[in-house]
Structure 1
Amino acid sequence: MTTALDGRRRIVRALFQHALCQGLRSGLDPLRTDREFRVFFPGYALSLLGSAMAPVALAFAVLHGPGGADRLGWVLTARILPLVLVLLAGGVAADRLGSRRVMLAADLLRALSQGAFALLLLTGHAPFWAILLLAAVGGAGEAVFTPALTALIPRLSPPGRLTEANTLLTLARSTAAVAGPALAGLLTAAAGPGAVLALDAGSFAASVWSLALLTVRLPAGEPGPSYLADLRAGWTEFRSRSWFWVTCLHICLFNFLLWAPFLVLGPATAGQRLGGAGSWGLIMAAYGAGSVFASLGLLGRRPAHPVRLATLASAGWALPPGALALGAPLPWVCAGALVAGVGTAVNGTLFATAEQRLIPAAAQARVAAYGSLGAFALGPLGLAAAGPAAGLLGTSTVLGFGALWLLLSTGLVLTVPSVRRN
């Protein structure tokens, strides 16, 4: 009996390992068979790592000067404001001029701005007005790059491998989010923030090089009579797809009611009840690890209903704030963060795939810009309101309300027929 049971276990293990290897092999197909994606991916992955390192260096550079915390807030605002203001114009530019051209210009701009920032820090002459200006330039570059990326990927991989391509991009983002801050902390301590920002500038230069090596010529779209006309056409495409604008509204309110308060109140709660800054680091590390694991698990998977599954996965974001609201111990909060990281990878990968498959190629960048703007428009307000709301209602009430709202809203979004169907 024991021998037969052991034999069945070995067969099941072998079948599982075979399925896993097959999934990983097919998941790497864009790197093995799609020359354009293979050229683009390394430079983009390096730029993600540099971008994940930069905030640590920026914080050390600004906080060590006079008026540290206040000045850091101004610098972050200087970066976010042009990002929001330029986003729609970036989407129009990508659809009119071609996403590759726009991304080349955006990353060249970011390489130059971060290089200038690094030079100011390394020479010891960094006036605050220059820091604000360079932060704004970097934010504008990101606003132009982001919607163009959505439109670029379908030109680098065929429709049958879009899920795998987006999974690899999500894996690169997740890995950078975990490794970047840790690496930046070590390098900042050893060589100073200027050296880290110089590396970030180099990472953008690597992305420029990868984009320049692409041989595919991405045609510019048929422009309308004006930028305003193109914006109106993009808005028409956006609002005509209920699955898209409903899920964007879902993410917008999630950022406002749950994630922004979690990012503000989570560290404070960890410091007061869970043992300090190290515990918050463990929570965020678990979140990053969940995203990495989910990205690996998605390799080779092609769900039939990506929008439906992406929406279901968003419910995982309720767990870490909910655990904090309930007064759970650190291991349970970390477990919730791990599941939330899984939800982030699944949601981001599958929703990007659905965008690229279901939205006309000529309007993808503009629609992506509207989606990004809508999803994150209330995030800054949520960050600003979290502290006062917690002072009035209590931290547990704010976090618990956000978690319950997310679970309820996820169920409501799933009642929309086009969300369930796609």
Structure 2
Amino acid sequence: MNGSVLRWLVAYTCSVTADSIYFITLSWAASRALGPAAAGLILAAGAVPRALLMLGGGVVADRFGPWRVLIGSDLVRCVLVLGAALAVADRVQEGTLAALAVGFGTVDALFMPAVGALPPMLVDAGLDTGLDTGLLARVQGMRVLAVRAANLAGPVLAGVVLGVGGASASFLAASLLFGASLVLLPTLRIPRTSAVSEPGQSLWQQFSEGLRYVRRHAELRRLVIVIGLSELCFSGPIAVAVVILVTQRHWSGATAGWILGAFSVGGAAAAAILAARADRRYPARPMIAGSLMLTAGLLVAWGTLGRPGAIAVAAALGATTGVTMVVANARLQTVAAPHFLGRVTSVTTLCTLGLSPLLFPLAGIVAARWGSGAFFALCAVVCAAAAAVGSRSTPSGRPARAATAGRGGDDEAAVSAPDDHRII
């Protein structure tokens, strides 16, 4: 694995950890100073621009290059959070936190598509010819490992710093981690050809062309649906359901931490194994469908088990969802044309992080009326539907990346890659 990939993984881990600290600190500061209702409104104020601008963020990533967008995003987030640390040092004000949430959510809409489009460029940069799909799968495995590690480290760091220095110190810690990422990103080796795509088109034309590309590319369309459905429940709603499950069973608050922690550990373990064995060749479609069906079965069982069983199943769910994330995203990045990756990633991100907040109230309503097990069963149905879509074969044709020499017009968008391609 080349040095650029390793530096990016370190930078990405710093950025995701800082992101976790930021959200915990924002929630804590708003709840403590302004009350739960105001905290909910402030968090919603950040979620709205992120969802509305996500597809536009994919266009920006493809037009200017994901590397430049990532540097700009980390710079703006570092400045925003540092400003918040100074602003709340004396007094927490609702307007300050709301402005921070809106600004951060807007930048997130640029950051997320860019971070999904960058790995294939890093892999290409370390090779003389072609795209090493085994290495790409390894990078995806390490990326999932970084996310799981950050999701474990972020809350711990936030809790410690909040206890010692309050919200101001915690925001400062997040800004320092964003700064560390910002130092590493300019050192990456990025091919010059990845800098700009379709410079003669307007942003709206690029936006429209990206949607047409996803719609007409058979396998890509299937992968977008699979990733969107498979991650929809696991982008936040499941955590809400776990908290409700613990409350309904009268378990201690620490049990919720053990369950969520086991989920992260299981995902990290699966990602590490896939990254280590990326030189092996396994069929992508059966792995995706199989892991999703196993996830559905585990979700059904989750709501019926006692405390030890719930923790064990959480670890198993982390592993199965980790397999799905690594394999599906590596396959998506293999079949998508390089200059469409930002827009393709923005669509999948919108389907998960953008739409998953809509399930938060549903989780509470279903759990309150029929129990948390009913919501787990509903998520199992969603995963089973994703498995059904993922198991379908698509027409064989020329490999999608072989057709990327042109500008990426409608003919290219209609190409499907061979479905039996081996990615890991």
TM-score category of the 2 structures, normalised to the smaller one: 0.7 to 0.9
Mapped to 1, the partners of 2:7 and 2:318 lie a distance apart of 28
Give aligned pairs, total: 386
Aligned counterpart in structure 1 of residue 106 of structure 2, from 140, 162, 168? 140
Which residue of structure 1 lines up, in the alignment, with residue 44 of structure 2? 77
Aligned counterpart in structure 1 of residue 288 of structure 2, from 297, 310, 326? 310
Residue 319 of structure 1, CA deviation? 5.4
Aligned counterpart in structure 2 of residue 380 of structure 1, from 357, 365, 382? 357
Which residue of structure 1 lines up, in the alignment, with residue 260 of structure 2? 284
Percent of matched pairs sharing the same residue:
24
Superposition pairs of residues 17-28 of structure 1, within 5 angstroms: none
Structure with higher Rg: it is: 1
Change (3 A) 1:254 1:306: closer
State whether residues 96 and 220 of structure 1, in contact with CA within 8 Å, keep that contact through their aligned partners in structure 2.
yes
Residue 369 of structure 1, CA deviation? 0.8
Paired residue secondary structure (1:289)? helix
State whether residues 115 and 197 of structure 1, in contact with CA within 8 Å, keep that contact through their aligned partners in structure 2.
yes
Moved more, 199-208 or 154-163: 154-163
Moved more, 74-83 or 382-391: 382-391
Task: Please list the CA deviations of residues 69-115 of structure 1 after superposition, one character each: whole Å capped at 9, or x if unmatched.
Answer: 11111121111111111111111111111111111111111111111
Change (3 A) 1:77 1:329: same
Change (3 A) 1:49 1:259: closer
Mapped to 1, the partners of 2:6 and 2:383 lie a distance apart of 39
Residue 255 of structure 1, CA deviation? 5.7
State whether residues 73 and 111 of structure 2, in contact with CA within 8 Å, keep that contact through their aligned partners in structure 1.
yes
Segments of 5+ residues of structure 1 without an aligned counterpart are 1-29
Aligned counterpart in structure 1 of residue 245 of structure 2, from 266, 269, 294? 269
Mapped to 1, the partners of 2:357 and 2:202 lie a distance apart of 31
Superposition pairs of residues 316-327 of structure 1, within 5 angstroms: 316-318=294-296, 321-326=299-304
Q: Which amino acid aligns with 1:421?
A: D
- Would you say 1:417 and 2:393 are equivalent positions? yes
Higher helix share: 1
Mapped to 1, the partners of 2:388 and 2:43 lie a distance apart of 34
Aligned counterpart in structure 1 of residue 306 of structure 2, from 320, 329, 347? 329
Aligned counterpart in structure 1 of residue 346 of structure 2, from 354, 369, 379? 369
Which residue of structure 2 lines up, in the alignment, with residue 210 of structure 1? 184
Change (3 A) 1:83 1:416: same
Mapped to 2, the partners of 1:136 and 1:241 lie a distance apart of 34
Which residue of structure 2 lines up, in the alignment, with residue 228 of structure 1? 204
Mapped to 1, the partners of 2:175 and 2:294 lie a distance apart of 35
Superposition pairs of residues 157-306 of structure 1, within 5 angstroms: 157-158=123-124, 159-160=131-132, 161-216=135-190, 217=192, 218-253=194-229, 261-273=237-249, 275-302=251-278, 303-306=281-284
TM-score (structure 2 length as normaliser):
0.84
State whether residues 286 and 338 of structure 1, in contact with CA within 8 Å, keep that contact through their aligned partners in structure 2.
yes
Q: Which amino acid aligns with 1:54?
A: Y
TM-score (structure 1 length as normaliser):
0.84
Task: Please list the CA deviations of residues 224-277 of structure 1 after superposition, one character each: whole Å capped at 9, or x if unmatched.
Answer: 532111111101111123333334334544566787653333212212315121
Change (3 A) 1:247 1:228: same
Moved more, 154-163 or 307-316: 307-316
Q: List, as ranges, runs of 4+ consecutive aligned residues in structure 1 with deviation greater than 6 Å.
A: none
Which residue of structure 1 lines up, in the alignment, with residue 127 of structure 2? none
Mapped to 1, the partners of 2:118 and 2:364 lie a distance apart of 39
Which residue of structure 2 lines up, in the alignment, with residue 357 of structure 1? 334
Question: Cα RMSD over matched residues?
Answer: 2.3
Segments of 5+ residues of structure 2 without an aligned counterpart are 125-130, 395-417
Q: Which amino acid aligns with 1:313?
A: S
Mapped to 1, the partners of 2:6 and 2:237 lie a distance apart of 39
- Would you say 1:342 and 2:319 are equivalent positions? yes
Q: Which amino acid aligns with 1:46?
A: C
Task: Please list the CA deviations of residues 36-94 of structure 1 after superposition, one character each: whole Å capped at 9, or x if unmatched.
Answer: 2233232222122222222322222111113x111111121111111111111111111
Which residue of structure 2 lines up, in the alignment, with residue 126 of structure 1? 92
